[in-house]
Amino acid sequence: MSHSKSLTRRNFLKRLSTGALTLSSFETFSKFALAETSDLPVRVTQTGNPFLRENWKNPFVRDGESLLVVVEGKDKTRMLEAGIEALGGIEGIIKEKEAVIKPNFVSPQPYPVTTDPDFAIAIANYLKKAGSKKIIICDAPGSDLYGGKDRKFKFHKMFEKGEKAGVEVIATDSMKKEEFIDQKRKEWEANPVISVNRTVLKAPVIINTVVLKKHSAARMSCSLKNNFGTVLQTLRTNAHIKSSQGEEGMKFYMKTISEFADAVRPDLNIVDANSIMLREHLISLGGEVKTGINKMILGGDMVAIDVYCAKLLEKHDSTFSADMVSITQSYAEKLGLGTSDLSKVKIIEITA
């Protein structure tokens, strides 16, 4: 293969910075990624606990049923306020505590490819009013090894928006191992060790801020998949490589989505589905923006939320069917992240 057509480490990192790598590119890069992940040590975290979110429970439950709130409207701030109120409020879990908002800034492309930056700030402002003592907006969509860790945040003007709102904004370097904490749970079948963003994992309260998208590899990106961005890049890359290696490789990838979500276990998930992405998760890959959905879905049960949102995506995208994500959802249910049976969920539909 000529040098001009080969995928060098430098070329791979350059492509990774755009968020638009093909699966074949991931496979070619496997010698780099697997070399860094195959010998990851299993070690106890600084607290002596190998699984920091072990005691997590869904805080939004009523009479033994998970609450799932669906808000219809056009004003996102009003929808957010009404949705959290319908859940019973958030003061009980947020007051006097630090909270991390985990957005999706996977690419320098606008909402709904990525989180609406103004909505991320609106969530932060709401948490302030609810009594949070400190709020951080944190994601790890890039690295100084390729394009710069701050580049995608700068595209969305997140640093200046955060400064104006009095909210700390952190773009973690996705390749810097010391910024991640190794987590281990014996129930994980695909990944014996998962390295999770230190800033996210050490926060007492985690808010998962989600956009709904069709996704070529994951089939759908929603509350479970959004946790992918909290994990060390080499582990993400390894999962993408596996997804192109036949049926077993795809099962590994689908289970990895659930395991990454299990390692984080957000307290509240907020799906901004005012607009959604059809056909693909990036406009640059052929994705289409569908406006006028005007929904926001909130709750602590990631499985129920994803089941609901899969039906919503299926309604609008002829290239997607809900059964495409059944492996991910059933495995997430097995790990204790929620229920896939919406008859066991209290769905509250309101207008704001």
Evaluate whether residue 4 is within a structural domain: no
Look at 311 and 38; give whichever has higher pLDDT.
311
Give the mean model confidence (pLDDT) for residues 34-40. Answer: 38
CA 336 to chain centre: 17
**What pLDDT does 284 receive?**
87
- Over residues 189-247, the pLDDT tens digits come to 999 999 999 999 999 999 999 999 999 999 999 999 999 999 999 999 999 999 999 99
Q: Is the pLDDT of residue 79 over 80?
A: yes
d(CA 148, CA 325): 32
Structural domains counted in the chain: 1
CA–CA dist 71, 185 (Å, integer): 35
Q: State the CATH number of the domain containing residue 288.
A: 3.40.50.11440
Q: Is residue 197 part of a domain?
A: yes
- Give the model confidence (pLDDT) of 253-307 as tens digits: 999 999 999 999 999 999 999 999 999 999 989 999 999 999 999 999 999 999 9
Residue-level pLDDT at 38 = 34
DSSP state of 96: T
Strands (E) across 143-299 are located at: 168-173, 180-183, 194-197, 205-215, 219-221, 268-278, 288-290, 295-299
In a domain? residue 2: no
**170 located within any domain:** yes
11-48 as b/e: b if 16+ CB within 10 A: bbbebbbebebebebbbbbbebbeebbeebeeeebeee
Residue 352: how many other CB atoms lie within 10 Å: 18
Residue partners of 37: CB distance under 8 A and separation at least 6: 234, 235, 238
The Cβ of residue 206 has, within 10 Å, a number of other Cβ atoms equal to 23
- Domain containing 53: what range? 9-351
Q: How far apart are CA 255 and CA 249, in angstroms?
A: 10
In tens, the pLDDT along 304-326 reads: 999 999 999 999 999 999 999 99
Give the closest residue to 20 by CA, choosing from 278, 196, 201, 217. 217
- H helix runs in 265-320, sequence order: 302-316
Q: Is residue 340 part of a domain?
A: yes
Residue 1 predicted with pLDDT over 50: no
Question: Of the ranges 31-35, 69-73, 204-208, 212-216, which one carries the lowest mean pLDDT score?
Answer: 31-35
Q: Which residue reads 């920091």 in tokens? A: 52
Residue 105 is assigned to a structural domain of this protein: yes
pLDDT band per the 50, 70, 90 thresholds, residue 49: low
Question: pLDDT category, 50, cuts 50, 70, 90?
Answer: confident
Identify any residues that bridge with 69 across adjacent strands, giving them in sequence order: 298, 348
Residue type for position 6: S
In a domain, 3, yes or no: no
Query: CB under 8 Å to 182, separation ≥6 — which residues?
Result: 40, 41, 42, 43, 45, 50, 193, 194, 195
283's tokens: 């406009």
